[in-house]
Amino acid sequence: MQLLRVAALLFVAVYTYDAISTYRKYAVEYLRAVSTLEENVKELEEDVREVQALHHLGLNKNNRTHTNATTTLEEEMEPHTKLLVVQSSNSSTTKKEKPYLVLHVGPPKHATTYLQCVLSGTKARELMLQEDRYEYMGTAQCEGAHDESGLLSHTPTFSESIIEGGVNHNKHKPKLTKQFLQKLEYLEEHNINGLIVFEMLGGNLLMASSKYPQAFPLILNTVMARFRVKIVINYKYLFDYITSMYNQHIKPTGKYNAENKNWPGQAGPDGKKGDYIRPFDTESQEALYYLKMIKRNRQSKTAIVRQKYIHAGVDPRDISILDMTVSHQTVLTALLCDHLPGASGACAHARAGTFPIPPKDKMSANPSFPINYDILATAAWKDGLVNTTNLSRGTVIQAIKARQEKQLNRTLHDFPKTCMDTKKIQKLLTLSIEVDRNLFGTSQTREEALTQKFWDGKPTKLCSVDTNVVLADPEWRDWFANTTTMTM
């Protein structure tokens, strides 16, 4: 009897084990089916959203044509966050691939204003979206040329462009602006590639010594999690970069030295006294400010920026150098053709000369300053040749410009010259060759081209008006004697 009871229990145990195994098998299959179903539902939902977006845009998914090239995003989005959307005619991305986000990070004074001014144009943005599924997000830097309300802004503090908060010497934790995040979300959802040109990503926002140390990693980590990020860094010869930065720093039309709008020693409405603008010199305080890092690292600004992105975790293969010293194509053509993956349509237009570019008179968002005219104006003022009671510094500069260019049919650089010390000039050339070699390697062809451009540019970059000679000219002295009747 006991034996029968044990046998019965063994039978029940075996039967129960088989039942549990069978149940477990069907449960696993069921869960797999549910998972597959969920994936299919997600894909179906993505297809529905895409069809809805296409329907909203008035587009036909089969032939990829558009009925209204200026249609913007969903009306429920805030007006300042809207993007221009035109369906791509040759999209090569798939749902499983992240879209590209190309960050052109400058650095400053490397033709970024020009690129921003061209790419922020409505027709340029429409073309890039239609041809290559690229959305130019900003920043905007061409006021007056076209509507820039839908783009990331380019403000002096940059707090309204990508980062807000935390820009006050790191006292508060920074965060990304709502506009920037909404743009990223839309591009990611609709598989549209993005392009940003923002030189502060290769300037203040990048450098650890600035007041934005937390902002840069926040931007980079956010975009790298959502997109295939490509970094583009422009390169120009060191002597071109330093002289351009010097001009930017000292010109009174900029934010650095507004006091130079006033005559030396005279205070303006803001209480700031004017000062003399001195010719470029590698040992001047302004030049040394930009040269010290380059001298310490023996690397160009481009190479320094590249290294910082690598240190931040960007794969070196995803960083490209746009060499502005190559003269066979413009910086715009180089960007579109060599540094934007899949932008073959925009590239073709750039090479054919049909890419929309604003008129030249609309491309002056960041003009260089005519330093020779200012140097001559203040020298004449110092000699007592200018009646400062009736004439402002800016008025005299413009009058000198008008006489030199309109009456005498000469240019800013046709004055008698005085140049920087010969030893300093040679040191600048040597350093320029060294940093170029450290980035591109040793090349006799590159060195010869650099040296030739250096000496060709010497009269305009390393020399300035010789005021002693000009003010000794009787005709100029007589003209200055009549400054009270100056007309531009």
Distance, CA of 242 to CA of 284 (rounded, Å): 12
pLDDT tens sequence across 430-471 = 999 999 999 999 999 999 999 999 999 999 999 999 999 999
State both tokens at 447.
Answer: 């060195």
Looking at per-residue pLDDT, the higher value among 456 and 16 belongs to 456
pLDDT tens sequence across 247-261 = 877 765 544 455 567
- Confidence band, pLDDT 50/70/90 cuts, at residue 213: low
pLDDT tens sequence across 51-78 = 343 333 333 333 333 333 322 222 323 3
Highest averaged pLDDT of the listed ranges 92-96, 187-191, 202-206: 187-191
At residue 95, the pLDDT reads: 45
pLDDT tens sequence across 264-316 = 888 877 777 888 888 888 888 777 877 888 988 899 999 999 999 999 999 99
Average pLDDT in the 361-377 region?
76
At residue 21, the pLDDT reads: 52
| DSSP run (H or E) holding 286 | helix 285-297
Looking at per-residue pLDDT, the higher value among 100 and 157 belongs to 100
Cis peptide before 222 (omega within 30 of 0): no
- What is the gyration radius of the CA atoms in the chain, in angstroms? 31
State both tokens at 348.
Answer: 């073709």
Q: Residue 170: is it exposed, middle or buried by C-beta count within 10 angstroms (0-12/13-18/19+)?
A: middle
pTM assigned to the model: 0.75
The distance of Cα 255 from the centroid of its chain, to the nearest Å, equals: 19
At residue 444, the pLDDT reads: 97
At residue 267, the pLDDT reads: 82
At residue 338, the pLDDT reads: 96
Distance, CA of 303 to CA of 290 (rounded, Å): 14
- Confidence band, pLDDT 50/70/90 cuts, at residue 193: very high
152 neighbors 138 (Cβ within 8 angstroms) = yes
At residue 360, the pLDDT reads: 75
Q: Is the backbone of residue 138 left (phi > 0), alpha (psi -120 to 50) or beta?
A: left
Res 88 pLDDT > 50: no
At residue 386, the pLDDT reads: 86
Residues 6+ apart with CB under 8 A from 175: 163, 164, 165, 166, 218
List Cβ<8 Å contacts ≥24 apart for 76-83.
77/182, 78/179, 78/182, 79/149, 80/149, 80/150, 80/179, 81/150, 81/178, 81/179, 81/182, 81/183, 82/150, 83/135, 83/137, 83/150, 83/183, 83/186, 83/187
Mean pLDDT estimate for the chain: 78
Q: Residue 460: is it exposed, middle or buried by C-beta count within 10 angstroms (0-12/13-18/19+)?
A: middle
Average pLDDT in the 194-210 region?
80
pLDDT tens sequence across 216-256 = 888 899 999 999 999 999 999 999 999 988 887 776 554 44
At residue 290, the pLDDT reads: 78
Helix, strand or coil, per DSSP, at residue 245:
helix
pLDDT tens sequence across 312-367 = 999 999 999 999 998 788 999 999 999 999 999 999 999 999 999 987 766 655 56
Average pLDDT in the 36-40 region?
44
At residue 389, the pLDDT reads: 74
Distances (CA, A) of 375 to 313, 372, 396, 409, 462: 47, 5, 11, 20, 14
